């Protein structure tokens, strides 16, 4: 025993464990570039060996730059590249429908990339649902609330909020104050979405700072994601278990995000209690929200738990806030930056809006060709989900040219790289609504702003009614 104690010194144990660690990871790296199912795919060996290659471009010393490095890898290796140990990235505009398939083709989300789906914070939201069948079930429950018919019934509510916004902008026009249009559009989007989802808006249109903290909190989630992918063992428990007051000491923005994620719980809990008091009966029509209707749906009871619905609400508020705000702000910027575009748009809008205060329906807006083309071009240039969008074909190999991509492999394209592909979109960084009128097939074949297939954006119809502001000025 004394010999063992004498032999097992701290230094020897440390050196032994270090040697085991080194040998293990050396074996992992060798396996990934030699015997791994993706070993023969084009790409740099450093990316194939380790996720640290992505860390270098997305976290430190660079920040969120890996997408542009991926483009450089495509320039060097061709249209199909292995960009980390488990991911295949394709840069080919004609290969969208195979990756983002619909119908009977099963496509799961990638759990590594969508790290928050494992955190417990957003695990029950539609946007972070990993499995195809569960996603299909949850989407079916939400889809009726974002249909053309349902959104058309929001005309008066949305019109009223646009008028509130127009009044504030008119005042600012007199005072000459400079505003950040992204925060302004975020206030509009948040008040519209929260009114529809929760039954009452958050009041951002009335706030002096336009509810800046909401958009900043949702942006924080984007900053956290690259860290969460690399360090799930640290980030996910922090989001799930640490109190905002404790997190506040280290990262005020992360703490605010945690509070915002929990915000819908009060409204969801109230709807659940109201339903329980009514013996499970449906609420009156004038008190209904998306989530009161979900409580009365045919979903299994475990899908109606307040925690699950709160996560769903947080997902809807997040998606409806930042993406919508960015799209509207960028679209309005490009419209006002071009007198030609602005003139054409005003002339067309006047055919259905004789007065700036006239309210119009979703159907009437969608019937305007130049307005629709302008919105589509704004969506193309706003890059709502600018990073890559992985999908996993669980039951089939994917064939790309001479390459067979094994089932279960996360395969993806990137919206930003796709929408700035000069082969498909000449002058890709110029705002040209006319391109969608001259070549209407572009939208069905190459438009990716809403995603594609079975996981396309469920709330796409909500952006258009929020956009006819240009006729007020």
Q: List, as residue ranges, the binding site for heme.
A: 457
Report the alpha-carbon distance of residue 313 to residue 267 in Å, rounded. 10
Report the alpha-carbon distance of residue 225 to residue 322 in Å, rounded. 15
Pick out the residues of the known binding site: 457
Nearest to 57 by CA among 68, 43, 46: 68
Of how many residues is the chain composed?
473
Report the alpha-carbon distance of residue 333 to residue 327 in Å, rounded. 10
- Tell me, letter by letter, the H, E, C secondary structure of 294-307: HHCCCCCHHHHCHH
Going from the C-alpha of 332 to that of each of 158, 305, 335, 431, the distances in angstroms are: 18, 40, 5, 11
Report the alpha-carbon distance of residue 151 to residue 155 in Å, rounded. 7
Going from the C-alpha of 113 to that of each of 190, 214, 226, 231, the distances in angstroms are: 26, 24, 8, 12
Q: Phi-psi region for residue 296, left (φ > 0), alpha (ψ -120 to 50) or beta?
A: alpha
- Residue 383 main-chain phi, psi, to 5 deg: 50, 60
8-state DSSP, 387? S
Report the alpha-carbon distance of residue 266 to residue 310 in Å, rounded. 9
Which residue has tokens 């702000």? Answer: 329
* Residue 383: cis peptide before it, omega within 30 degrees of 0: no
Nearby residues of 16 by Cβ (< 8 Å), 6 or more positions away: none
Residue 107 CB: number of other CB atoms within 10 A?
A: 21
């Amino acid at each position: 025993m004394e010999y063992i104690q004498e032999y097992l010194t701290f230094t020897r144990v440390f050196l032994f464990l270090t040697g085991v660690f080194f040998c293990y990871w050396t074996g992992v790296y060798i396996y990934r570039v030699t015997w791994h199912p993706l070993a023969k795919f084009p790409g740099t060996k450093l990316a194939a060996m380790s996720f640290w290659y992505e860390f270098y471009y997305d976290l430190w010393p660079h920040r969120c730059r890996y997408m542009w490095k991926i483009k450089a890898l495509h320039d060097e290796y061709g249209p199909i590249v292995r960009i980390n140990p488990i991911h295949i990235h394709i840069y080919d505009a004609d290969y969208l429908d195979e990756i983002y398939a619909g119908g009977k083709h099963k496509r799961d989300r990638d759990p590594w990339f969508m790290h928050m789906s494992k955190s417990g914070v957003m695990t029950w939201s539609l946007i972070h649902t990993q499995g195809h069948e569960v996603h299909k079930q949850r989407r079916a429950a939400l889809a009726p609330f974002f249909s053309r018919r349902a959104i058309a019934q929001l005309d008066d509510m949305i019109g009223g909020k646009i008028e509130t916004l127009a009044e504030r902008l008119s005042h600012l026009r007199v005072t000459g104050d400079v505003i950040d249009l992204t925060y302004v559009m975020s206030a509009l989007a948040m008040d519209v979405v929260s009114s529809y989802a929760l039954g009452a808006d958050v009041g951002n249109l009335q706030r002096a700072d336009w509810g800046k903290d909401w958009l900043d909190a949702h942006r924080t989630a984007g900053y956290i994601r690259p860290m969460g992918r690399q360090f799930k063992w640290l980030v996910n428990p922090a989001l799930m278990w640490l109190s905002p007051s404790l997190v506040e000491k280290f990262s005020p923005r992360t703490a605010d995000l945690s509070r915002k994620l929990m915000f819908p719980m009060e409204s969801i809990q109230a709807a659940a209690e109201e339903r329980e008091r009514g013996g499970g009966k449906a609420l009156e029509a004038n008190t209904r929200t998306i989530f009161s209707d979900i409580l009365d749906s045919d979903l299994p009871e475990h899908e109606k738990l307040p925690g699950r619905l709160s996560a769903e609400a947080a997902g809807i508020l997040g998606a409806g806030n930042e993406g919508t705000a960015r799209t509207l702000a960028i679209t309005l910027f490009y419209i006002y930056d071009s007198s030609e575009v602005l003139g054409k748009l005003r002339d067309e809008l006047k055919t259905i809006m004789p007065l700036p205060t006239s309210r119009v329906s979703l159907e009437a807006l969608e019937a305007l060709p130049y307005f629709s083309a302008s919105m589509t071009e704004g969506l193309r240039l706003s890059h709502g989900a600018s990073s890559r969008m992985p999908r996993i074909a669980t039951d089939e190999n994917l064939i790309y040219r001479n390459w067979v991509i094994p089932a279960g492999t996360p395969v993806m394209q990137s919206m930003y790289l796709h929408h700035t592909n000069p082969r498909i979109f000449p002058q890709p960084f110029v705002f040209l609504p006319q391109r969608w009128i001259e070549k209407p097939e572009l939208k069905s074949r190459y438009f990716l702003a809403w995603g594609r297939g079975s996981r396309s954006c469920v709330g796409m119809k909500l952006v258009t009614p929020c956009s006819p502001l240009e006729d007020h000025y």
